């Protein structure tokens, strides 16, 4: 059985855990007005990426006694080594939350 507790670390101003639990996903759907099934990683706008990463970082911020605001995301994302790493980590964190079809041992 695939481990559903995979940790995804994204290196921004510091290494941060990117995690999409129930609370993060609920907030994300409220902020974007889109259901999880309609999120299209290939056609995200910059604002969408900021919202997704923001929601995924809220747990880490809480664990580290930080107050993270959506307005902080531009500066935080600018700390990433490459933009492709942001996208890659975002996809890894979603795969960790939902399981990826390639990693499903039941197939």
pLDDT, tens only, 40-66: 767 777 888 999 999 999 999 999 999
What residues pair up with 8 in beta bridges, in sequence order?
18
Cα 57 to the chain's mean position, in Å?
7
Which residue in 12, 15, 35, 10 sits closest to 91, CA to CA?
10
Residue 107 domain flag: no
Residues of the chain with pLDDT under 70: 1-5, 41, 100-107
Range of the domain at 43: 8-97
Residue 21 domain flag: yes
pLDDT, residue 89, reads 95
Residue 29 domain flag: yes
What residues pair up with 18 in beta bridges, in sequence order?
8
Number of domains in the chain: 1
């Amino acid at each position: 059985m695939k481990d559903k507790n995979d940790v995804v670390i994204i290196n921004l101003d510091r290494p941060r855990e990117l995690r999409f639990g129930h609370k993060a996903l609920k907030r994300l759907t409220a902020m974007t007005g889109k259901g999880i099934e309609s999120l299209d990683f290939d056609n995200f706008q910059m604002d969408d990426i900021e919202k997704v990463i923001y929601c995924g970082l809220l747990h880490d911020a809480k664990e580290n006694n930080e107050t993270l605001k959506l307005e902080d995301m531009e500066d935080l994302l600018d700390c990433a080594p490459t933009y492709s790493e942001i996208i890659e980590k975002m996809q890894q964190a979603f795969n960790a939350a939902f399981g990826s079809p390639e990693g499903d041992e039941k197939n």
